[in-house]
Amino acid sequence: MSTVALPRALPWALIAAACLGSFAATSSGTTRAPFLLEMAHDLDVSMPLVANLVSMTATAWGIASALGGWLSDRLGRRPLLVAAPFALALAMVAQAFAGNFFWVAVWASIAGGCAGAFTGVVFAEVSTRVPDAQRGRALGWVMSGQSLTLVVGVPLAAAIGSLIGWRGWNICVAGLAFAACLSLFATVSGSARGAATVARRPSMRTALSPRVMALLGTGIAERICYGLAVVYFATFLQATYGLSLGELALPLAVFALGNVGGTLLGGQLADRRRDRLTTFAGAMALSGIAALALFMWHPGPGVSVALGFVYVLLNALGRPSFMAALAAVPDDVRGTVMGLNGTSASLGWIGAAGLGAAMIGSVGFDGFGPLTAVLALLGAAGALLSRRTAVP
């Protein structure tokens, strides 16, 4: 009598703790958006200067992500997964009590570094705790913590911040980070990982293999495509249709729901398709077509919002497949590789902000469509080329 092997149950407690940590890490920077004017008035500086905190945070995030991933392969993941959200909580409290813009910038950068040191390592830990056949779904759930920042975090920040201000909201984010710290302390395995790491030093040649480097480059292109829409979608609607801030609430919620839905569906798809990079390439190519329609066809705000939903859903649909493919490396270098992914993502965000500003200043939002389509096709081509390189 033959028996059928049942899929192993996912470590839901760890995934929930990782999701909470991802939500807190992303909220430490993204939920600053509703408070730019209030912060500028409070700190007696210009609003564009406060907006530059995004670049400072992204830079610190990228540097710390690479360093944190490398350290996790040498020291074990648990120390970083507990220490990083705890340090993030302290940095958010310090930012709340900072007396001038200089110290806000210092503590915001430190918070970005703590968030960066956490994200790559938590993806590596979840990837290790689940079999490859279930990795896409598990990583999709963790990524949903980041996606929920747009759906829940920003509106919640605006609502609570209207009562207690931007400083009070920073204290709330600190509480979320501390809760994530306690959750990860309880769910992440102990010292066995560190002992294994000491016995086998991670190989940088393996971590920086041609396949990994190609995928990281592909990830930069994908993040630029995503960042162009996320950073500038609201401005696009305002400039194209003259929508007010109040009228933007529903379109932005629909856009964010597309991101969440794409991430969760993409996790399921990643585990049903053996060739994950082809899945990612297909989603990127389709998102490039959607970008052309989104930014070059303006029949009305309702159609543009629907196209924005389709675009971000297609973009998010391929992300779990990409992450699962990137995580298919030896465990002793997985932290380094996933940390470098955080660095490449930061480069993508910085590139999106710079390219978007340059495009608006030269040809306007109509140029976003061709730019995004070209980058999406480059990302798809890079993923297909990476399939030919053997996994180390």
The predicted structure's pLDDT at residue 71: 92
The pair of structure tokens assigned to 214 is 């190609």
Looking at residues 24-40, what average pLDDT do you find?
85
Look up tokens 């690479």; give the residue.
Answer: 66
Q: What is the pLDDT of residue 198?
A: 44
Question: In this predicted structure, what is the pLDDT of residue 110?
Answer: 96
Longest dimension (CA), the chain: 77
Segment (H or E) for 359: helix 331-362
- How much of the chain exceeds pLDDT 90, in percent? 54
Q: Any idea where the domains of the chain sit in the sequence?
A: 11-201, 206-392
Average pLDDT for the chain: 87
Find out whether 219 and 322 touch, Cβ atoms under 8 Å: yes
Local confidence band at 48 (pLDDT 50, 70, 90 cut-offs): confident
pLDDT at 159 over 70: yes
Considering the segment(s) 206-392 as one domain, its CATH architecture is Up-down Bundle (1.20)
pLDDT at 146: 84
Q: Are 137 and 129 contacting, i.e. CB atoms less than 8 angstroms apart?
A: no
Average pLDDT of 355-365? 87
Residue 191 has pLDDT above 50, yes or no: no
pTM of the model: 0.85
pLDDT for the residue 206: 67
Is 321's pLDDT higher than 60?
Answer: yes
Query: What is the rounded distance in angstroms from the CA atom of residue 338 to the CA atom of residue 317?
Result: 19
For the chain, the straight-line distance linking the first and the last C-alpha, in angstroms and rounded, comes to 38
What's the pLDDT score for residue 306?
96
pLDDT per position as a tens digit, 245-264: 678 778 888 888 999 899 99
Helix (H, G, I), strand (E, B) or coil at 285: helix
Which CATH topology does 11-201 take? Answer: Growth Hormone; Chain: A; (1.20.1250)
Look at residue 200 in the predicted model and tell me its pLDDT. Answer: 53
Q: Is 177 a residue whose pLDDT tops 70?
A: yes
Residue 5 has pLDDT above 80, yes or no: no
pLDDT category at 227 given cuts 50, 70, 90 is confident
Give pLDDT, residue 169: 93
pLDDT tens digits along 294-318: 999 999 999 999 999 999 999 999 9
**Which DSSP letter does residue 202 get?**
P
The confidence score (pLDDT) of residue 2 equals 41
Tell me the per-residue pLDDT of 120-155, one tens digit each, with 9 for 90 and over: 999 999 999 999 889 999 999 998 888 888 778 877
Give every CB contact of residue 176 below 8 A, 6+ residues apart in sequence: 20, 23, 24, 27
pLDDT of residue 275: 87
Distance CA 171, CA 338 (A): 29
Mean pLDDT value across residues 360-381: 92
Retrieve residue 313's tokens.
Answer: 């859903």
Mean pLDDT in residue range 45-59: 83
Domains 11-201 and 206-392 share a fold: yes
pLDDT band at residue 12, thresholds of 50, 70 and 90? very high
- Please check whether residue 221 is in contact with residue 348, taking contact to mean a CB–CB distance below 8 angstroms: yes
